[in-house]
Amino acid sequence: KKRANDLATAQSLSHKVSFQVADALEQPFEDGIFDLVWSMESGEHMPDKAKFVKELVRVAAPGGRIIIVTWCHRNLSQGEEALQPWEQNLLDRICKTFYLPAWCSTSDYVDLLQSLSLQDIKCADWSENVAPFWPAVIRTALTWKGLVSLLRSGMKSIKGALTMPLM
């Protein structure tokens, strides 16, 4: 929070923005206060996806927009009850390394939003657009500076780096 506020001040934006740390599952905001609610790569960290989505909807103003950008597993095909075992094993490895709860699919998020009577729900798969990110992170980690930083960061960071190729 302090760093974000310091950066805003340095850019002469502190009169336009403010930052705070809060629990996404119990937000400290009034109902319907925001015209735009944007969740960027946080849904995958939420253990209770239904409560998370309900909070996003609660703080959105009537007619407002909600954007959820999050890691999802693929949608299940008709008749499929679960991911393939190899897919679930892969996700379990990623979740264990990054301390994440279970993932859900895009269609699961749509179902949650529809259950809260939202309309005009649109989905997009950004996988191709974000795919270059992880190789770029790996390339950075494999530089001398990156390797030294990883070693200084400790075992958790090293395990995270070793899991990156799975992404």
Residue 133 has pLDDT above 90, yes or no: no
Predicted confidence (pLDDT) per residue in 48-100, tens digit = 999 999 999 999 999 999 999 999 999 999 999 999 999 999 999 999 988 99
Task: Domains for the chain: give ranges and CATH numbers.
Answer: 2-126 (3.40.50.150), 131-167 (no CATH)
What is the reported pLDDT for 69? Answer: 94
Q: What is the DSSP string of 7-66?
A: HHHHTT-TTT-------TTS-SS-TT-EEEEEEES-GGG-S-HHHHHHHHHHHEEEEEEE
What's the whole-number average pLDDT of the chain? 92
Name the pTM for this structure.
0.83
